[in-house]
Amino acid sequence: MAESNFVDYVKIYCRSGKGGRGSTHMRRAKYCPNGGPDGGDGGRGGHIILRGNRNYWTLLHLRYDRHIMAGHGESGSKNRSFGKDGADKVIEVPCGTVVYNAETGEYICDVTEHGQEVILLKGGRGGLGNWHFKTATRQAPRFAQPGEPMQEMTVIMELKLLADVGLVGFPNAGKSTLLSAVSSAKPKIANYPFTTMEPMLGIVSYRDSKSFVMADIPGIIEGASAGKGLGLRFLRHIERNSLLLFMVPADSDDIRKEYDILLNELRTFNPEMLDKLRVLAITKSDMLDQELMDEIEPTLPEGIPHVFISSITGMGVGVLKDILWEELNKESNKIEGHIASIAHRAKDLSHLQQELADEGEDEELDIEYIDEDDDIEELEDFEYEEEEWE
């Protein structure tokens, strides 16, 4: 997917700043030759911070800057002067970004709201200057604390679009046509499979200026979980939807079978997908007459609300919106929480390398770090007590 602008998977290297060291300065002034220790504390290293930003829709901007490093804290100096804190680095991410450790696959955090900030890596605390260590028996400590080390991590950021309703169907089922009919989104529509190559969101307005968000994703075929068609990588974008709208065209040979295949592919991707609310739309129903609909009706899968629709004539679309709204606002749905009702699982380590390769993100990112500001050497075996840190 290298040529696409829709980037929903990136690997980047992040490093926080290390803490500045405390100063070992001794005060010496004209009439005060043995003024004692007056070395100030080092500054804090910069944090790496993630911030949700609703103006970003993809992770594309992160493709260009794969090494994100915060500033180091400066050393303390004489007169008990504090060192300056290192500059924080804020990474703006679209709402719905989930972060994993690229080496262990471990889930780290997610950012779902605009303005939400998460500290991904903490900057090291600055070391205390020598004047903190002055005691009755040790009047001139010639040591200070080194700053705390920096932290580094290579992370995978994955975007999982936040929508209420996700469209699920074979290619050509009419998913994009529905999205274009009920929202102002302008997805590409054509009479061939895999017209939609990347996900798209649309805002569906409902009565009394209420609205919900619908996500159109590429079509799914039997065997998608084994990589057929566009595979299942786009399913991550409906992982967080609370409702899945299954779409099967009226001219399908076997609607129930098609529905079962879709369901099975979802289950293979993530069994929790089956815990979501489901609605079935029989699309392109302008091709049916009442008699045919009556014939199809009893063959439809049980236990799932269904509706015959045509995005072209508008038939059933209003009813569909009513059903979607009703389902979305069900008590059972509310308890689970609107967003992220799915728990984030760690990545499967045995497949992680393959996944990175599939996403074109398997290149090594680690960098060699040269420490130009060598820490206080004499203090290598210095052990400070933990409570010395504030």
Ligand X SMILES: Nc1nc2c(ncn2[C@@H]2O[C@H](COP(=O)(O)OP(=O)(O)OP(=O)(O)O)[C@@H](O)[C@H]2O)c(=O)[nH]1
Q: Binding residues for ligand X, per CB under 6 A?
A: 169, 171-177, 189-191, 193-196, 218-219, 283-284, 286-287, 310-312
Q: Which one of Mg ion, ligand X, none is in contact with 193 (Cβ closer than 5 to 8 A by kind)? A: ligand X
Q: How far is the CB of 182 from ligand X (least distance, A)?
A: 12
Rounded-to-integer distance, Cα 45 and Cα 151, Å: 10
Q: What is the DSSP string of 228-276?
A: -TTTTGGGGGGTT-SEEEEEEETT-S-HHHHHHHHHHHHHHH-GGGGGS
Q: How far is the CB of 283 from ligand X (least distance, A)?
A: 5
Q: Which residue lies nearer to Mg ion by CB, 75 or 196?
A: 196
Instruction: List the beta bridge partners of residue 99.
Output: 109, 157
Rounded-to-integer distance, Cα 296 and Cα 288, Å: 10
Tokens 């060291």 -> residue: 21
Label the pairing between strands 9-15 and 152-159. antiparallel
Contact between residue 82 and residue 40 where contact means Cβ atoms under 8 Å apart: yes
Q: How far is the CB of 187 from ligand X (least distance, A)?
A: 7
Q: Which residue lies nearer to ligand X by CB, 99 or 181?
A: 181
Q: How far is the CB of 326 from Mg ion (least distance, A)?
A: 26
Q: Which residue lies nearer to ligand X by CB, 159 or 281?
A: 281
Q: Which residue lies nearer to ligand X by CB, 24 or 196?
A: 196
Q: Which residue lies nearer to ligand X by CB, 211 or 313?
A: 313
Q: How far is the CB of 215 from ligand X (least distance, A)?
A: 12
The three-point CA angle 274-4-236 to 5° equals 15
* Class of residue 24 by CB neighbours under 10 A (exposed 0-12, middle 13-18, buried 19+): buried
Q: How far is the CB of 210 from ligand X (least distance, A)?
A: 24
Q: Starting at the edge strand that comes first in sequence, how are the strands of the sheet with 67-69 ordered?
A: 67-69, 9-15, 152-159, 97-101, 107-111
Judged by the rule CB under 5 A, the positions of this chain that interact with Mg ion are 176, 195-196
Rama region for 277: left / alpha / beta (φ>0; ψ in -120 to 50; rest): beta
Q: How far is the CB of 179 from ligand X (least distance, A)?
A: 8
Q: Which residue lies nearer to Mg ion by CB, 10 or 230?
A: 230
Q: Which one of Mg ion, ligand X, none is in contact with 130 (Cβ closer than 5 to 8 A by kind)? A: none
**Residue 334 CB contacts under 8 Å (≥ 6 apart), including other chains:** none
Q: At what angle do helices 175-182 and 317-328 cross, to 10 degrees?
A: 90
Q: Which residue lies nearer to ligand X by CB, 155 or 173?
A: 173
Q: Which residue lies nearer to Mg ion by CB, 128 or 167?
A: 167
Distance of CA 316 to the CA centre of its chain: 35
Q: Which residue lies nearer to ligand X by CB, 175 or 237?
A: 175
Q: Which one of Mg ion, ligand X, none is in contact with 194 (Cβ closer than 5 to 8 A by kind)? A: ligand X
Q: How far is the CB of 180 from Mg ion (least distance, A)?
A: 9
Q: How far is the CB of 237 from Mg ion (least distance, A)?
A: 13
3-state secondary structure of 157: strand
Q: Which one of Mg ion, ligand X, none is in contact with 356 (Cβ closer than 5 to 8 A by kind)? A: none
Token pair listed for 335: 């308890």
Rounded-to-integer distance, Cα 32 and Cα 67, Å: 49
Token pair listed for 8: 């929903």
Polymer length in residues for the chain: 390
Instruction: DSSP letter for 300, please.
Output: S
